[in-house]
Amino acid sequence: MPLKRSPSPNSSASSSATKKFKTSHHLDFSHYINLNSKSYPFKHSTKAAIKWNNGSKKKPFEIFEDKYNEGKLNEDEKYLVHWFKNDLRIHDNTSLYHLVQDAQKINAKPIGIYIISLKFLESHLESALKVQFIQNTLKVLRESLSKLNIPLSIIYLDDSKDKYKLSSNSYDSFKDWLTALLNEKFQTNSIYYNVNYEYDELNRDISLLSSNLNIKAFHDQCIVKPMELTSGKGTQYSKFSPWFKKWDSYLNSSPIELLQIQHKFEKWDWSHLPNDDDYKLPPQFQVSSLKEVGVTDIGNFENLKGGEDEALEKLEKWISNSIKEYQSEKDYPSLSSTSRLSPYITQGSISPRLIVTKCQEANNNKRIGGNTGIETFIKEVAWRDFYRHVTVNWPYLMMFVPFNLGLIDLKWSDDYSRFEKWCLGETGFPIVDASMKCLLHTGYMNNRCRMVVSSFLSKDLAMDWRMGELWFYNHLIDADLSSNNGGWGFSSSTGLDAQPWFRIFNVYTQSEKFDPDGVFIKKWLPNLSKLENFHEPYNEKIDAKEIEKLTNGYPKPIIDRKQAREETLERYREAM
């Protein structure tokens, strides 16, 4: 098995490896292999990581906190703008709530805007399913806002080449473009928004602080604001368990407050406001692009419901019907044992505060104790806070640098055909392939399956975990940078609070335990439905030619697991 140290994505080693990589499906995998090097040069990120860790360089969140001064309410403003980001809801939306309150005070008209940045879509390899879900959600949000007589303008910005055009003018920065947009098109200088904690988005928010805009920014993504929970040494927790105890204690002393908008504004004519609803996204962000990986039924994705009402209905049904069995059933992919709220949480169609509040109510107002299913689910929601807190404190986690800097030199295979087969569900390991097929055809994967396939890629196949992280992000409808990164760091043993490096999931054991009857495997790999041993089709007890007939061409395992295990243990020992 050819192994190499993970190169800088800009290095010649990486470039030559990419040129050698050809796929039988004629798909372009180079942007996964190159690890998005244009956005985050690996060398720079590693140097920055050390400076952030030793305190010689301020973290973006700290810079924002230092620079931000809350704007003053200007009584002469006729319009106030709320910039929707991943907070696509009306109720319990911190920024929107305060804008409505201020608009009432000065009798101003509230306006909502949403900006589709082509630069961010491209640099982040956003999922076509996720982008479609956002568009569906925006339609619902627009209807809900209009009932309160608040318009929503959707602005498409082609900033892929760092040029920002508005009418006949061109601007050199997003800051200048946004200022001109608000002044000229919305006749205001006041903007409200909830702060993003992702690296690029946070730096964009920081750039706005040097503008002439009257900015009111709020912390809304997390139930508890990042940097609030520190250990006895005054540092960010790197382990979930002690962090969760502190998180729970914090909420005991500062109970969750839900901000509900009740006011409806007078009807007014907003026909003069700009909209760009005729935009057309590049092909890779349209669900039709999924045909390249064998997905033909894309109609379900195009019509997938989004929005706050749908999220609230799902939450209500989840709590009423299933949540109490969550702990015992969540790992079985054939069961409808999860809430399926994650896409709605990611886009902010429902707030984590509301979810935890409703779960507490169903658990005799307890977060810890009571029903184990409810407690476990509350912890899952808390994990989202935790992962955001740690990416804020260790920003390099969002730049393809592992938390464990000692594993920078971990060797990886350069046999990229393995990565292709993993992506498309053609490895010869049924639970892995079924999970990957499920991802491609639904945009979703059960969390147990996510752990199995990510461990398999990074440890059994010896492929760089960051490639898998990007593939997941580019195909998950609930793609969330912090949670996705945290999950891959856990499975590859390179992240914080990760599984021990010597722990390697046995895919056959996982399959037998969590899909004992093969319901999930046979659904996504129907060519294995005639086999008794669908967990491990090719074994020594049955004639290989007979198996090939029964499986209708299902591939043989692409690796020897026993050999791969020994090589993986050696790789980690050497790196550490």
Q: Residues forming the annotated binding site for FAD?
A: 326, 338-342, 377, 380-387, 478-480
How far is it, in rounded angstroms, from Cα 80 to Cα 270?
Answer: 13
* Separation of first and last alpha carbons in the chain: 20
Torsion sign over Cα 499, 250, 365, 483: negative
Six token digits for residue 479: 């793609």
DSSP per residue over 98-156, as a string?
A: HHHHHHHHHTPEEEEEEEEEHHHHHHTT--HHHHHHHHHHHHHHHHHHHTTT--EEEEE
Residue 305 phi/psi, 5-degree rounding, is -70, 140
Range 380-383, long-range pairs (CB < 8 A, 24+ positions): 381/223, 381/345, 381/352, 381/355, 381/356, 382/223, 382/244, 382/247, 382/356, 383/240, 383/483, 383/486
Evaluate whether 312 touches 350 at the Cβ level (below 8 Å): yes
For residue 350, the tally of other CB atoms under 10 A from its CB is 24
Tell which residue, 526, 523, 524, 553, has the closest CA to residue 538. 553
Per the annotation, binding residues are 326, 338-342, 377, 380-387, 478-480
Evaluate whether 90 touches 308 at the Cβ level (below 8 Å): yes
Q: Exposure of 153 by Cβ count < 10 A (0-12 exposed, 13-18 middle, 19+ buried)?
A: buried
* Chain center to CA of 402: 17
Q: In this structure, which amino acid lies at residue 534?
A: F
How far is it, in rounded angstroms, from Cα 459 to Cα 442?
Answer: 26
DSSP per residue over 421-478, as a string?
A: HHHHT-SS-HHHHHHHHHHHHHS---HHHHHHHHHIIIIIS---HHHHHHHHHHH-TT
How far is it, in rounded angstroms, from Cα 543 to Cα 546?
Answer: 5
Q: Tokens 């039924």 label which residue?
A: 297
Evaluate whether 341 touches 311 at the Cβ level (below 8 Å): yes
Evaluate whether 329 touches 337 at the Cβ level (below 8 Å): yes
